[in-house]
Amino acid sequence: MLVLALRRADTPKVGHGDPKPDRYEPIPGFTELPQWLWRRMGRGTRIAVGVFVLAVIALTAALAPAIQQSKEERAATERRERAAAHAKLIRTLKAEQRPRFARSAAVAPAGATDEQRLAARAQVMGDLAASILADARRRVRRGDFEGPIRRVSCTPFPRSVEGVGADEDLSRRLGRYACVAVTAEFARSDESIGGEIGHPYRALARFESGRYAFCKVFGRPDPTTLREVGLPRPCGGR
């Protein structure tokens, strides 16, 4: 008897050569990723990675002293440059503040009245202002200052409530003054009390002899905050 075996059309054909599906392994999170990669490396790759890491560590250890030395050298260079710049600034400011000396002929004679003595002191202050004006305009011509210099204004230093200087007080033999070589001034108005701006000076006048000295000072007309550059004694410094 001939027997025919029939196969259903919807039955899948399975051959001996069909591949088996691979097992799926998801990529882990960031913190576990290095360990996951290490497990998937071959032995040769692991050895190469280990050698590379050791080489990096050895190179870092070898270069560390040179890097540290380079940092120290740069820091030392920066300190020297700052010191040189500071020394140059000190020299410049000292040269700028060098005292200038002059003498007024307006000296009251012996036996002069108080009025004559006060007039002589006023003339000394006029000569002092004229000397500062000439000095400031000379500096403008040299390019040290910005001008124009309009006039010179002097007030007693330090300021006091009375505002009376030695030029008006016959009991005082000398007077200290803060002067300004005025470059601009502002009139009094409803919005402003007025004022003046310019280049500051300090001065010391000896009224009995007519001698006076003045110094151009930087910044404000009061003593500088730089300890190396105080106001020279001839101009009223301590």
Supply the pLDDT for residue 106: 92
Worst-scoring range by mean pLDDT, 140-149, 153-162, 182-191? 182-191
| Rounded Cα–Cα distance for residues 38 and 12 (Å) | 41
DSSP 8-state class, residue 204: E
Supply the pLDDT for residue 30: 62
CB atoms within 10 A of CB 189: 8
Alpha helices for 184-236 (secondary structure H): none
CA atoms within 13 A on the CB side of 157: 21
**206, 236 in Cβ contact below 8 A?**
no
Alpha helices for the chain (secondary structure H): 33-40, 43-96, 114-142
147-174 mean pLDDT: 92
Asked whether the predicted pLDDT for residue 222 surpasses 50, the reply is: no
pLDDT digits (tens, 9 = 90+) for 149-161: 999 999 999 888 7
106-110 mean pLDDT: 92
33-46 mean pLDDT: 72
Supply the pLDDT for residue 126: 97
162-179 mean pLDDT: 93
Domain edges within the chain: 40-93, 97-235
